[in-house]
């Protein structure tokens, strides 16, 4: 008999929690979509999976009202939902898929937090990186695209000179950031927190 791994139970628990949230509130973070299903396969995007609770990582970083949060490849806005528990002034997301963006906008209306805004745009063309100093990534793209995004975050740091944090779940291309001078300040399994200051 095949032994079930802890990751399987974590996946099933997340699925159960998100289904319950949808039934009780109408907020929809459910589903797993490939880039092909979303019609964005030729863009370097990887698809959609709702993030795990990032509160534990934000607690480590201790954001204040002087900090602004951007979820890159924000999907349906799950990370923004968790980030609203903290003192950020702005909690924004940029999402390439129109299908996911439309759901995220509806979710934001249900969440009713005026700090949350969504942008339907390709992250490599997004021009407002220097408005933010906290960035969240849940394996949103392949390495060539991540290199462009990491450089844009680095450039934003050079402009605003504020401590800059990248919370990177499933950090497949962590080296892209460390090669640009980001320091790993926390590591848990495949996730990490990187910093510039």
| 117 within domain boundaries | yes
Element of type H or E holding 191: strand 191-196
Query: What's the Rg (C-alpha) of the chain?
Result: 16
Give the residue carrying structure tokens 């797993």: 32
Q: What is the CATH number of the domain that holds 84?
A: 3.40.50.150
| 82 within domain boundaries | yes
| 102 within domain boundaries | yes
pTM: 0.92
- The alpha carbon of residue 70 and the mean position of all alpha carbons in its chain are separated, in whole angstroms, by 7
Q: Which of 145, 158, 170 lies closest to 197, judged by CA?
A: 158
| pLDDT, tens only, 141-177 | 999 999 999 999 999 999 999 999 999 999 999 999 9
| 16 within domain boundaries | no
| 97 within domain boundaries | yes
Domains identified in the chain, total number:
1
For residue 189, give its domain range: 33-196
Q: Residue 154: helix, strand or coil by DSSP?
A: helix
Out of 46-60, 123-137, 165-179, pick the least confident. 46-60
| 79 within domain boundaries | yes
Average pLDDT, the chain: 92
| 120 within domain boundaries | yes
């Amino acid at each position: 008999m095949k032994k079930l791994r802890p990751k399987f139970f974590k996946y099933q628990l997340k699925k159960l929690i998100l289904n319950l949230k949808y039934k009780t509130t109408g907020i929809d973070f459910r589903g797993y979509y490939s880039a092909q299903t979303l019609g964005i396969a030729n863009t370097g995007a990887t698809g959609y999976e709702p993030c795990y609770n990032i509160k534990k990582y934000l607690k480590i970083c201790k954001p204040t009202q002087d900090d602004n949060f951007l979820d890159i490849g924000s999907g349906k806005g799950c990370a923004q939902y968790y980030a609203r528990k903290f003192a950020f002034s702005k909690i924004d997301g940029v999402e390439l898929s129109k299908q996911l963006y439309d759901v995220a906008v509806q979710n934001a209306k249900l969440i009713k937090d005026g700090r949350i805004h969504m942008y339907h745009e390709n992250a490599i063309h997004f021009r407002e990186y220097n408005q933010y100093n906290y960035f969240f990534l849940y394996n949103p793209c392949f390495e060539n695209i991540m290199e462009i995004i990491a450089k844009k975050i680095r450039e934003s740091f050079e402009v605003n000179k504020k401590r800059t944090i990248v919370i990177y779940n499933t950090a497949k291309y962590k080296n892209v950031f460390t090669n640009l001078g980001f320091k790993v300040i926390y590591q848990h399994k495949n996730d990490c927190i990187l910093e510039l200051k």
